[in-house]
Chains A and B, each alone.
Chain A
Amino acid sequence: NAGVTQTPKFRVLKTGQSMTLLCAQDMNHEYMYWYRQDPGMGLRLIHYSVGEGTTAKGEVPDGYNVSRLKKQNFLLGLESAAPSQTSVYFCASSYRSSGEADTQYFGPGTRLTVL
């Protein structure tokens, strides 16, 4: 049981380049989330999914797209990277909505630098 895994762990992009971050979970969780963590700002929700084939916007969705084609995978895409997207990205999953008192499980993070 690997829990939540993220690939890649590190990435450096140039402005305007694109990339996809992959999150996978093997706990059969319905809900999955993408967060970004910036110094002094805590974690902010980018997008989330409440089940296979669904996605929804979080607090800071601009410049990102997501897909949930398979229940175990949640992809985060940057179509045209900008320096403001330099951050650490975390994926999380939970069996039910956190509003229904369920623990979120986090991946180890992806450190992205956009030059």
Chain B
Amino acid sequence: KQEVTQIPAALSVPEGENLVLNCSFTDSAIYNLQWFRQDPGKGLTSLLLIQSSQREQTSGRLNASLDKSSGRSTLYIAASQPGDSATYLCAGPPERSSASKIIFGSGTRLSIRP
């Protein structure tokens, strides 16, 4: 059964640091991958979507990469700010047209210290 591991489970860093969050799938078969942000008591907000033909996506200070051969993805956050504090989740389906098979990681809880 496909499982998703996000490392670390929690991370606290001082403001201004660059940081990397990791996401890996036990079964390396992954079609595309999405990174979400979840604020306490809120729903998920999509940050970046890496499509099957892509290796990375960038939005502002965020950069996500996907290595399909190893089933791993990283989310890079540059020049972190206190407003980046949230839980970050990765998710993806193992194959195309798999609405029922999207697997979510349990997330990395990020805290940016002022």
A residues within 8 Å of B by Cβ?
4, 31, 33, 35, 40-45, 48, 50, 56-59, 90, 92, 97-109
Task: Tell me if A97 and B98 are in contact (CB < 8 A).
Answer: yes
The size bracket of the interface on B is 20 to 34
Residues of A within 8 A of B96 (CB): 99-100
Task: Tell me if A107 and B99 are in contact (CB < 8 A).
Answer: no
Measured CB to CB, the nearest residue on chain B to A32 is: B99
Indicate if B112 sits at the interface (CB-CB under 8 A).
Answer: no
Q: Which residue of A4, A40, A42, A97 contacts B99 across the interface (Cβ within 8 Å)?
A: A97
B residues within 8 Å of A by Cβ?
4, 31-32, 34, 36, 41-46, 49, 51-52, 89, 91, 93, 95-107
Task: Tell me if B99 and A31 are in contact (CB < 8 A).
Answer: yes
CB distance from A56 to the nearest CB of B (A): 6
Q: Which residue of A56, A90, A97, A105 contacts B46 across the interface (Cβ within 8 Å)?
A: A105
CB distance from B39 to the nearest CB of A (A): 10
A45 and B102 alpha carbons, distance in the complex (Å): 8
Residues of B within 8 A of A41 (CB): 106
Q: Please list 23 pairs of residues, one from A and one from B, whose beta carbons are closer than 8 Å in the complex, sorted by A's number.
A: A31-B99, A42-B103, A42-B106, A42-B107, A43-B89, A44-B104, A45-B102, A50-B99, A56-B100, A90-B44, A92-B44, A97-B98, A99-B32, A99-B93, A99-B95, A99-B97, A99-B99, A99-B101, A101-B31, A103-B34, A104-B34, A106-B36, A109-B43
